[in-house]
Amino acid sequence: MQEVLSMTYLWLKAGHIIFVIFWMAGLFIAPRQLVYMHSAAPGSPEEALWAERGATLRRVILTPALIVVWLLGLALMMTIGAWTMGWFHAKLLFVLLLSGYHGWVVATAKKMATGKRPVSEKKLRLYGEVPAVIVVVVVVLAIVKPF
């Protein structure tokens, strides 16, 4: 029985890591697409093209990956009893922040697709670095387990 549980854990972990990679790829490209859309004239064919590309990214990669990451992550949490571990609480906080960032990117993209520019291009470029910083913290917490 222990061998079955051990294999289940490894499959859950592998799936979790794979979908985190997909999610992060989407979170790295989405702000870049917003930068390109920002420079397109509101209502132009170029803006429409970037809006469609962003919608496709959200529909095909970002949202499905987010859902699978959360489902597999919660399954892993229950499998190893992570709720009792300090590092896990810190990791969960940063994953919640990253999920909030995901929501912000989606909301901003939808606003920009209607011709609004709620954030400057410079800030979009800066905000594009957020997922990289958060993922470094999350990986360190998950691998090193400092507390």
Binding annotation for heme: 16, 91
d(CA 51, CA 102): 16
Binding-site annotation, residues: 16, 91
d(CA 147, CA 145): 6
d(CA 136, CA 24): 11
d(CA 139, CA 17): 10
Per-residue CA distances from 82 to 16, 133, 135 (Å) = 15, 23, 19
The gap from C-alpha 64 to its chain's centroid, in whole angstroms, comes to: 10
Both tokens assigned to 22: 């997909």
